[in-house]
Chain A
Amino acid sequence: MINNSPVIVTESLTKRFGEITAVNQLTLTVKRGEVFGLLGPNGAGKTTTVRMLAALLIPSGGTAQVAGFKIGQDDQDIRRKIGLLPESPGLYDSLSAEQNLAFFGAMYGVENTPEQTQKYLELLGLWNRRYEPVGTFSKGMRQKLAIARALLHEPEVLFLDEPTSGLDPQASKLVREFIEDLKDEGRTIILTTHNLEEADRLCDRVAVISGHLLALDAPGELRRKIFGRKVVFHLQEANQALVGALEKFPFVSEVQAVDNKILAAVENPEEQNPELIRALVNEGAELQFVGELRRRLEDVYLELMGAVEENNHGKN
């Protein structure tokens, strides 16, 4: 469903608050239909970036286009094309779910608000609670209602700022599944989250930021770029001779024996594994099974943040 046409393009996007630079020279492109993750520690500039792209904050420098409209120039058009789920749901507690959506339907100029309200409240399991004041809703229900509000006008781009933050596992799962459904529909979604497992599962590409851009790619590619690819050979018994058999290959950059396993860093396991397996068997290995060491996105993130910290210590 991902289309190569860009829906968000930023060029050296910068935001300063007084002397503090919250976002520094951010350059990225988001493709249509993509779920794009913005990852980073607290204060990394994720929310500020989302607010700039949602035409809520005026950039201090650089340029950005959202759905073909320029930020700072076509802000009203941008607001018509985007849906925003902020960090806090921001619903009117004394109003019912239906009244909340009716109000935002009017703000977005939605012509068929009652139909859209029914569609999204049913999809999110809130239709039977539509007349109840939002103040009586659980956190998960409020979050779902805020998502319905963000979708009411069928936006081209959806910004979800920490959509599962503070939710219990069941509510988080429901929200995640709904985002997956939206992804299947081909919506462009910008997702900021601290939940790296969630980002790994939902995002086509992620940008790791800490004021500035640290890395940008698909989660799998980031893993490969940072840790390379490691094949794990599970053996009856690992020994030094087997390690030596693998070290002979020029395409193997690192070999390590751990318990009954041998880990080998290789460039292209799909092509090179047969040769390695043959060499191990010839050396007398009793091979049980072969797999690839799967690094989590969290490992990538921690590696990048570690590098930032080291860099900061170096500067100090």
Chain B
Amino acid sequence: MERIRAIIIKEWREVFKNKFVLFTVSFLPLMITVLPLVILYFAGASDDFASISGADLPPQFEQLCGELSGGDCMLYYIVTQFLLLFMMVPVIIPMTIASYSIVGEKTTRTLEPLLATPVTTIEILVGKGLAGVIPAVLTTWIGYLIYAAGAYLMVSNMAVVSKLFDPLWMIAIFLVGPLLSLMGVSIAVMISSRVNDPRVAEQISGIFVLPVVGLFIGQMSGMLLINETFILWLAAALLVLDTVLFYFAIQIFQRETILSRWK
């Protein structure tokens, strides 16, 4: 545990001195937290919402809103749209951190002395992984709490606000978020083990954000309804996927290959 702790502290000391990483880690969550609040503010203030009746809404909204009125249901629908945006934070942040931390070790040639120590591959990957996952998860949680507090202040109907604390959001933020983070970090580790430029690693890793973007588009277009059952299935699938990905990340992190393919 001491080695893992030392790796995490070292990573944070190093990575957060990189302005690009710091920008990505702070700007994205800030944008994802502030933008929905702005939209929510203007939507709440609009008279058009108050005039929406339940009959104006598609039938699947009934499942989402329950007893809420048409206007409140629409407001809640908007609130829920941003749930998936919040899910991007735990994927993108660890990918950025892990990409820079592993490829950075290669380019600065610090990996050889590190691999010459008794540290195990699992300790290195867990340390580097957690160094990406912890800030990502904390940022997501803090962003969610700010969003919930903002919604509490801006939305007059407490029934809508209380929906932000229902099991759907709790599972998404506190279970799916960390699982997505683990997925992001495992993918970044695998890619970083094979490339020599952190930007390349980050860009390739970025492709893996697309499924989350796809879910977002699916939900926005009404093709997909994110409800508790869906989110639980997603969590179960991610749990399996994370186990498989972490196993492959360890397999791909071949000390010898990494050392001899540097040049």
The answer on A and B forming one complex is yes
Enumerate chain A interface residues (CB-CB to B < 8 A): 17, 51, 54-58, 76, 79-80, 82, 84, 86, 88-95, 99, 102-104, 106-109, 146, 149-150
Q: Are B108 and A56 neighbours in the complex by a CB distance under 8 Å?
A: no
By a beta-carbon cutoff of 8 Å, the part of chain B in contact with chain A is: 2-3, 5-7, 9-10, 13-14, 17, 108-120, 255-256, 259-260
The answer, among A17, A79, A95, A107, for a CB contact under 8 Å with B260, is A17
Query: Given A17-B260, A84-B112, A90-B114, list of 18 further CB < 8 A pairs?
Result: A51-B259, A56-B115, A76-B120, A79-B118, A86-B109, A86-B116, A90-B109, A90-B110, A90-B111, A92-B10, A92-B110, A94-B17, A95-B10, A95-B13, A103-B10, A107-B114, A107-B118, A146-B113
- Given contact pairs A90-B108, A90-B112, A107-B6, A79 touches B117 in the complex (Cβ within 8 A): yes
26 A-B residue contacts at CB 8 Å? Answer: A54-B116, A55-B116, A56-B256, A57-B259, A76-B118, A84-B116, A88-B109, A88-B112, A89-B109, A90-B109, A90-B111, A90-B114, A92-B14, A92-B108, A92-B110, A94-B14, A94-B17, A99-B13, A103-B7, A103-B9, A104-B113, A106-B2, A107-B6, A107-B119, A146-B113, A149-B113
B109 touching A58 by the CB < 8 A rule? no
Q: Which residues of B contact A88 (CB under 8 A)?
A: 109, 112
Nearest to B104 among chain A residues (CB) is A92
How far is it, in angstroms, between the C-alpha of A57 and the C-alpha of B112 when the chains are bound?
A: 11
Contact between B116 and A57, CB atoms less than 8 A apart? no
- Complex CA–CA separation, A90 to B117 (angstroms): 13
- Residue in contact with B113 in the complex, picked from A17, A84, A93, A106, CB distance below 8 Å: A84
For B111, list chain A residues within 8 Å (CB): 90
Q: Chain B contacts of A54 at CB under 8 A?
A: 116
Q: Pick from A56, A79, A94, A103: contact of B6, CB below 8 A.
A: A103
Main SS at interface, chain B: helix
**What residues of A have a CB within 8 angstroms of the CB of B6 in the complex?**
102-103, 106-107
Task: Determine the distance from Cα of A110 to Cα of B117 in the docked complex, in whole angstroms.
Answer: 11
Which of B7, B110, B116, B118 is close to A56, meaning CB atoms less than 8 Å apart? B116
**Are B13 and A106 in touch, CB under 8 angstroms?**
no
Measured between C-beta atoms, what is the minimum distance from A67 to chain B in Å? Answer: 13
How far apart are B43's CB and chain A's nearest CB, in angstroms? 44
CB pair B255–A56 under 8 Å, yes or no, is: yes
B109 close to A57 (CB less than 8 A): no
Complex Cα distance A80/B117, Å? 7
Chain B neighbourhood of A94, CB < 8 A: 13-14, 17
User: Provided the pairs A76-B120, A93-B108, A106-B2 are in contact, do residues A86 and B256 lie with their beta carbons within 8 angstroms?
Assistant: no
Contact B260 A57 (CB under 8 A): yes
Closest to A52 in B: B256
- Choice from A58, A84, A89 contacting B256 with Cβ under 8 Å: A58
Closest to B259 in A: A56
Q: How far is the CA of A89 from the CA of B14 in the complex (A)?
A: 17
Closest B residue to A78 using CB positions:
B118
Query: What are the 5 closest A-B residue pairs judged by CB atoms, nearest first?
Result: A106-B6, A107-B117, A88-B109, A84-B116, A94-B17
Closest A residue, CB atoms, query B2: A106
How distant is B153 from chain A, measured CB to nearest CB, in Å? Answer: 40
How distant is B82 from chain A, measured CB to nearest CB, in Å?
35
In the complex, chain A residues whose CB is within 8 Å of the CB of B112: 56, 84, 86, 88, 90
Chain B residue, CB-CB nearest to A57: B256
Distance between Cα atoms of A112 and B17 in the complex (Å): 28
Contact A107-B256, Cβ < 8 Å, known A76-B118, A92-B14, A92-B108: no
Q: How far, in angstroms, from A237 to B237 measured CA to CA in the complex?
A: 96
Which of A54, A92, A102 gathers the greatest number of chain B CB atoms within 10 Å? Answer: A92
Q: Is the CB of A79 within 8 A of B113?
A: no
Task: Give CA–CA (A25, B2) in the complex, Å.
Answer: 40
- For residue B15, which residue of chain A has the nearest CB? A94
Q: Are B113 and A108 in contact (CB under 8 A)?
A: no
Contacts of B117 in A (CB 8 A): 79, 104, 107-108
Query: Closest residue to B13 on the A side, CB-wise?
Result: A95
CB distance from B196 to the nearest CB of A (A): 15
Closest to A83 in B: B116
